[in-house]
Structure 1
Amino acid sequence: MNYKQLAKMFTSTNITKVAQGDLSLVQEIASSYPDLDEVETLSDLFEEAYKLLCRHYPNEYVVKNIIANNILLGTHSMNTASMLSELRIGANKADCVIINGSSTCYEIKTKFDSLKRLPEQLAAYTSSFDRTYVVTHEVHLDALLEIQNDMQSFGIMVSNCRNQLSRRIIAPLNTNFDTGLMFHTLRKEEYVDIARSVTGSEPDCPQTELFTKCKDIFCALDTDEANEQFKRVLKHHRRNDHNFISNLPKSMKNLGISYNIHKTNKENIISSLLNCNQLNREDVNVFSIHERKAV
């Protein structure tokens, strides 16, 4: 079976189509995989398709979704924690970062990934977050243990087909922050927020000088204070949409976190999940849900 095709169900492109009432890919998949042939509701189709991916094609989406369910929602609470996806740190993008009272980076290396860039990635992440984990498949474990033996600044987790994560090595607490690197992660509203918090007002300078002025303020802070400010603004300005995520089935939690979905599309996705119960009927009108709402 082509499980890579099945994974397309969970892409941003297909989720946008679902929000627009286009279930063509969903219906094609429902009729192409014997294990999904009897599934009728859209919500159940995503759930059953996700189970197949967990067993046969544990790609990055699957691992991020496991982290979202087991750590963000299972250990923490969306009221007190935020999960950030693809967070730029220097020349790299951290796969997942969860910010609660502390910041934890989760760099994912699936069975389909190479470890070639990992040392460079770890150098950036272990300079920016309180703790850093590499979340991996068993196939990479021996190689990762060798890397960790030489570079003991990160921990290791292993994901499995039962949607579980096991800690093999606990990540140490970082005490060596690179504030210059961290600052370049921040958006304008975030670094201005920090400058205002530190000095009591927004810097009085031309817009062309604002970035440099705010960077000087941030980098002059004690590293512990800089880290606290860094976590505060990321958690606040990039907080998750709790209501949307809570209404998604377990298989779709990560898309509610990782994808930039317009408010109207979010409403349409939830409506489709609640109302689409005719996936396998030949006369199904894939636009009927949204047309009915517009009438």
Structure 2
Amino acid sequence: MAPNSSQLSALSRLFSSSVFRELGARGRSPLFSRLIREASLLDICRPSARVADAFEAALTILQNGEHRDEYVYKAALTQNVLLGTHTLRTACMINEFRVADCKADTVILNGTAVVYEIKSERDSLARLEKQVETYKKVFSKVFVIAGENHVETVRDMTPKDVGVMYLSKRNNISEVRSARDRPGRICPLSVFESIRMSEAREILQRLGVSVPQVPNTVLHGVLREKFVKLRPVDLHFEMVRTLKRTRNLLPLAQLVHRLPPSLRPAALYVRMKKADHERVVRAVSTSVREAMKWT
């Protein structure tokens, strides 16, 4: 299947949070049905195909080198790094982690804090230098993962302590240049402004810094004043330990392993109630023919 631009748009939107939330909240998704038609996926699905098969087929089409979008890269990182090298018990993944006026595509916390900035075939490199310098203030390791059309330029325009990865046409991740682990360079103020107040308080307490009982109206300023005095290496260690607890994904493990690989990234970054999990699993087991009746 060689999709046109409108079909490509429909294929990408199949993996949107809107579709996944509908599946969880209602056990069906009228948006899924409409997008399947717009993408002409019915033409290539077997008569016995399930909704899970349709998602797998959609991702396979998007994985074609010239069509790849951000979700394809997140799927590769999820499968090869988070669930391949690590596990949900030992590591945590955060999607679109805001740092200043940048939004980090994927952050994985294990023994250290690693950020992955995605530059797919559809992306521009215009903001890359600024993004990399911003991420260095919060994460000890910075990687850029790029497609064939960008990888050489990315390697040339980024500092040597920034890692570069390449997503091959077969959707395997290769390391072009390793990232240096530099927790000592992180900026305590940048970390403080990127995390929740409750997380900042916990980090301070873990480091033996007393936090006075003050009104919420002045708490931010008090925490900020104490945070800027922290040693970067100590802060990094406690930031990783704290965020792994507060952003823990282990409760999603059962759901993730019951879904097709194509939907695992969505399961990890789309927030939903535990009661919705079973509805998602049942929905993706539905036949595509039956799903086309969803309204």
Per the alignment, residue 259 of structure 1 pairs with 270
- For 1:196-207, list aligned pairs within 5 A: 196-199=205-208, 202-207=211-216
- For 1:1-295, list aligned pairs within 5 A: 1=3, 2-19=7-24, 20-31=26-37, 32-33=40-41, 34-36=43-45, 38=47, 40-55=49-64, 57-148=67-158, 151-174=159-182, 175-199=184-208, 202-240=211-249, 241-274=252-285, 276-277=286-287, 279-280=288-289, 286=294
Q: Distance in 2 between matches of 1:281 and 1:72?
A: 34
Q: Distance in 2 between matches of 1:88 and 1:281?
A: 40
Distance 1:39 1:179, change over 3 A: farther
Structure 1 residue 131: Cα displacement: 0.8
Q: Distance in 1 between matches of 2:152 and 2:48?
A: 40
CA contact (8 A) 2:95 2:106 kept: yes
Structure 1 residue 249: Cα displacement: 1.4
**What secondary structure does 2:150 align onto?**
helix
Aligned residues, how many? 282
What amino acid does structure 2 have at the position aligned with 1:133?
F
TM-score by length of 2: 0.88
Structure 1 residue 28: Cα displacement: 4.1
CA contact (8 A) 1:157 1:167 kept: yes
Residue segments in structure 1 that go unaligned for 5+ positions in a row: 288-295
Distance 1:213 1:243, change over 3 A: farther
**What secondary structure does 1:77 align onto?**
coil
Q: Distance in 1 between matches of 2:126 and 2:152?
A: 15
Worse-superposed segment, 215-224 or 6-15:
215-224
Structure 1 residue 285: Cα displacement: 5.2
Structure 1 residue 49: Cα displacement: 1.4
Residues 210-261 of structure 1: per-residue CA shift (max 9 Å, x gap):
1222223322222111111111121111111223222221111110122122
What amino acid does structure 2 have at the position aligned with 1:115?
L
CA contact (8 A) 1:4 1:57 kept: no
What amino acid does structure 1 have at the position aligned with 2:103?
K
Distance 1:192 1:281, change over 3 A: closer
Structure 1 residue 281: Cα displacement: 5.2
Q: Distance in 2 between matches of 1:38 and 1:25?
A: 21
What amino acid does structure 1 have at the position aligned with 2:132?
L
Residue segments in structure 2 that go unaligned for 5+ positions in a row: none
Per the alignment, residue 291 of structure 1 pairs with none
CA contact (8 A) 1:36 1:49 kept: no
TM-score by length of 1: 0.88
Q: Distance in 2 between matches of 1:39 and 1:168?
A: 42
Identity score, percent: 26
Q: Distance in 2 between matches of 1:134 and 1:214?
A: 32
Q: Distance in 2 between matches of 1:220 and 1:268?
A: 48
